[in-house]
Structure 1
Amino acid sequence: MSARSLLQPRRLPPADVLRVGAVGLRTRPMRAALSALGIAIGIAAMLAVVGISSSGRADLQQVLDGLGTNLLTVAGSESVSRPGESVRLPPNATNMIERIPPVLSAASISRLPDTVHVYRNERVPAQQTNGIVAYATELDLPQTVGTSMSRGTWLNAAIASYPGVVLGSAAAQRLGILDAAADMLVQIGGRNFAVVGILQPITLVPELDSAALIGPAAATSYLGGDGLPTTVYVRAVDNQVAAVREVLAATANPAEPYLVSVSRPSDALAAKLATEHAFNGLLLGLGAVGLVVGGVGVANTMVISVLERRSEIGLRRALGATRGQVRLQFLTESLLLTTLGGLGGVGLGAVVTAGYATLQNWPPVVPGWAAGAGLLATIVVGGIAGLYPAIRAARLSPTEALASV
């Protein structure tokens, strides 16, 4: 081996690079912990936003999978001659719709006259309607809209001819009714009706939550119902929903299809998801700001570390350490600091996500790509934050550094 090769500095093995880079973290643990905390908070904020959003989306997807996205609603459009009032559908609209081959089921509700109000008893002031609307309903409505009973039973062929009512979940709450029984009475149109059942909340059809539902025969006999459908709910074969939607208006009202409105309730949920996505973008931006602030803290820590360790740098340079080795030492220290903060942030973000999802009864979801992106962000921030201090440390000459001791 030549003398020239002996004088050339040896390259540090990776294990030694990590050992030397960790010196500053071990000797100043409090400062390192506070700096890493800034990074951890930024990563945790971003991961929690993504995780909570994903958990909520997973819960909504479970709900949609249970209720189905193949529900369509058919209703009359607003009347031109009477603004604010919808045109009623023809009396045979439901039967016509059920003849469409891909339609699985259809059921209608018919709004009772505006003079028919629902009260807890006759002593309630007339103006306190609580927003409860009375409808005559077909008996297969629960199967079509995808709901079940919370209390009591649904209308059957016998009850539908007598003064019995099924309340939506919100209507029952507003009336102060917690259970269904034969002696549990409400006033509808000035007549006592027995509460035979209370529905579960209906995600896809929330307007029914505030409804009082009465059998068609009882509605005609006791409350002056005309039987004309206000809204028809339609279930179609999943892969034929779009095709069914195209022909529903003309089928429900062949004479005036332009007066028929067809909607898909799950579209509103999709719009809600899009709104939440935009809001999540704002929160992610705030998390990114937190990450940048943490990076500034790391850079500040590393600059101070260079100033405080000038003697160490001078001694290492005097013992033969090259500029590159000194630069690598401080860059490694910065990367270690931010990586520790990133790992802590990922753990904290996962805990926050799991805790919030559990409180909301959502399935906790922490996307792997989000955790990976968070760690990658910390590496980038660590590299940027430590670059200037590392270059500054490497530029110190041994004599200048030792002279400051």
Structure 2
Amino acid sequence: MSGLDPSPRAAELLARLRAFMAEHLYPNDALYYEQVAQGDRWAPVPLIEELKPVARAAGLWNLFLPESGHGAGLSNLDYAPLCEEMGRVYWSPAVFNCAAPDTGNMETLERFGTEEHKERWLKPLLEGEIHSAFAMTEPAVASSDATNIETRIVRDGDDYVINGRKWWISGMGAADCAIMILLGKTDPDAPKHRQQSMILVPRDTPGVTVLRPLTVLGYDDAPHGHMEILFEDVRVPASNLLLGEGRGFEIAQARLGPGRIHHCMRMIGMAERALEAMCRRVKGRVAFGKPLAEQGVIIERIANARIMIDQARLLTLQAAHRMDTVGNKAAKAEIAMIKVVAPSMAAQVIDWAMQAHGGLGISQDSFLANYYAHARKIRFADGPDEVHRHQLGKLELAKYA
């Protein structure tokens, strides 16, 4: 894999991360879900709060931030195997302060926030003291085309007033979610991609009402959550606007590239863990007179899973390398390709693992059903498959203009 191997520093961090997860995360996987189920499901989980300072002391903190004095300063290529490793345990990114949407919001604040924004919001996010949300998707319009977003952001003196309804706002369920970045329309008469702006909305601003948590194939993903929110005459200072009116799409393009590839990195980790579980299961189960591991269909699925995971990993690393060398905008084709490939690959591998586990695979006694729901969800997150395929097709056709 010449040219796509992690640097010596990243390899050393990966070894430390694997050791940390083996000691602190895998043994506590069941405990995490037990604690979530106890008491207030939206409160901070004691296990995560206990492990965060341990991870920070181990130098495994803010690993996602590239070229920054606040994090590890890793390239996208070097972060890829670390993010993949974290993806193996669904809740582990929060332990290392590497969970979405906080990661994208921190990068946005670092790149586009004022010094006041950074002091008030970025600093506590980097310290893991608060959580955040990103409010874009709306129930009344096809949000896969973000130019449809209708939530209004209207200037009124020294303030902006926000009215609208959002849903699938991940992270908003957490009791310690303190800030959200909202995409809304400031000028309906401006050119198509200059109508939208991004603005900071503190969680406790009057007029912000969480209507309900949405479920993903039955999972509410507490304490993270995916909330439907109503904004009624929500008033925030004009200084909360990022960059200026009409700059929303510019910020979104800078934010979504890393977010998309991070999802893909975690998908590969989930698929790897599912394949491992499948192999262990079929080695120890007998049906129709011989081990499941000797059944032809099982052997074929294991082989295909290995091929699909490695293909997705290579495409992810190639996209990360391109982002590092030519920038996110020039790497948009590679980012789109892996965003289509990785979630579908993970869902298929996890599905095969569920099938090999029988009834256990779809029960609460296995991580597989939760992983499957998450993989299916990621086919929508940060743009549905159809949008990425459409963009890819146009980019390919443009070569023959």
Q: Structure 2-normalised TM-score?
A: 0.25
* TM-score (normalised: structure 1): 0.25
Task: Flag the structure with more relative contact order, 1 or 2, with Cα contacts below 8 A and sequence separation at least 6.
Answer: 1
